[in-house]
Structures are given as structure tokens and as C-alpha cells.
Structure 1
């Protein structure tokens, strides 16, 4: 099955809980839980030292508002991108949250995640 064939409602039922977990674990600095749904290739490409520094020192990554505004899905190839408006409890302004999902060995996995 290709994830782009799912309806927006089906995608939302998958993507929103995954995004909410990323925000929760980012705020907690729980690196092991944060990466638990990452794809194998994403895990291979991570620099764990840099990720650890981000969790320890990033004011933004540790102070994200759990409520999010869903902006939409983008379908491309074998992946979807879920877009969210994100806010911080420590910094003024808004950020764009992006999470790329697809199937890996029959399970939905996170192929990319960022806030910018």
C-alpha cells in the first residue's frame, strides 16, 4: 500500500498522534522516545551528538506548545508531508513544523521531522 492513497481523514488519524508524541518527547528531552518511530534510514543519518545538544540546549525544542494548527498534507511519491503551525512557550512567533511519513516494512514510519 502507498500512503498517498489514504484519505485526509485516514492520514490525520495516523499523523496527528505521531506529531503530538514528537512534541511531547521534545519538550521532555526524551531522545529515545523521540526517535522511536523514525525510519531506519533516518536513524542512520542522525548525528546523535548534535541531537543530544539540541535536546539539552534548544530553548525552542524544549518549550513547544502542545496545541498545533494543522495546515495540510502534501502527497509526493511514496510519502506524505504533514504541515503544522507551531508555537513556543518561551519565544514569540510561529514556526512551521514538517513531518514526512511513509511505509517501511509494512509500518508507518517518520522519514523526516523538523521545525523551522
Structure 2
């Protein structure tokens, strides 16, 4: 099954707990737990040194509010992007969060991208 064929409810059942884990482990600086649902292809493309620096230096990635708003889905090709309005506990304003889900080579749903803009 292509992930874009899953219902909104099925996608939210997978995606919302993963998003909440990303926020929690980002705030705690727990890199190993942060990446545990990432696809193998995403892990191969990450520069662990740079990502580690971001974890340790970025005030935003260490102060994400657990109070977020789910904005919607973008379905394209073999991936679904979940969009979120994100806030910080220390910085004023709002950011756009995104998490891209898809099936890996073994057919499991994994995270293929995650970022905050």
C-alpha cells in the first residue's frame, strides 16, 4: 500500500505520537531517541556532527513547546507531509514544522524528513 492511500485518521495515528516524540527528544537533546523512527535513507544523508551541533547550540530546538497545532497533509508521490504550527517556550513567534512519512524498502512506515522553519 502506498502511504498516500492511508486515511487521515490512520496517518494521524502514526504521525502525531512520532511528532510528539520528536519534540520531546529534541528538547532533551537525546539524539539517539530523536532519530529512532527515521528511514535508513534519511540516516545515511544526515551529517551527525552538524546535527549534534544543532542539538547542543540551538535554543529553538531545545525549547519546543508541546503545544502545537496540526495544520494538514500534503500527499505527493510515495510520501505524505504532515504540517504543524510550532511554538517555543523561550522564543517569541511561531514556526512551521514538517514531518515526511513514507514506506521504507521493507514496507515499514518511517520518517523521511523532519524540520522546523
TM-score range, shorter chain: over 0.9
The equivalent residue for 2:108 is 107
- Segments of 5+ residues of structure 1 without an aligned counterpart are none
The equivalent residue for 2:40 is 40
Deviation at 1:106, TM superposition (A): 1.8
Q: Deviations over 1:28-80 (max 9, x none)?
A: 00000001111111100101111110111100000000121000011000100
The equivalent residue for 2:8 is 8
User: RMSD of aligned C-alpha atoms?
Assistant: 0.5
4+ aligned runs moved over 4 Å, structure 1: none
The equivalent residue for 2:28 is 28
Q: Deviations over 1:73-114 (max 9, x none)?
A: 110001000000000001000000000000111211000000
Secondary structure of 1:19 counterpart: helix
- Segments of 5+ residues of structure 2 without an aligned counterpart are none
Task: Give TM-score, length-normalised by structure 2.
Answer: 0.97
Secondary structure of 1:92 counterpart: coil
Q: Say how many residue pairs are matched.
A: 116
